[in-house]
Amino acid sequence: MSETTLSHIHRFVPAGDASKAPLLLLHGTGGDESDLLGLGAALSPGAALLSPRGRVLENGMPRFFRRLAEGVFDEADVVTRAHELADFIAEARATYRLPAPIAVGFSNGANIAAALLMLQPDALAGAALIRPMVPLARPPAFALPGTPVLMLSGAMDPIVPAANAERLAAMLGEGGANVRHEVLPVGHGLSQMDLALARDWLRQVDA
Active site residues: 107, 157, 188
**Residues linked to residue 102 through DSSP beta bridges, in sequence order:** 23, 126
Cα gap 199→111, rounded to integer Å: 20
Q: Are 50 and 12 in contact (CB under 8 A)?
A: yes
25: helix, coil or strand?
Answer: strand
- Cα gap 47→101, rounded to integer Å: 10
User: Residue 70: what residue type?
Assistant: E
Burial class (CB in 10 A: 0-12, 13-18, 19+), 53: buried
Q: Kindly list the distances between the CA atom of residue 49 and the CA atoms of 80, 130, 148, 160, 188, in Å, as whole numbers in the listed order.
A: 24, 17, 19, 27, 24
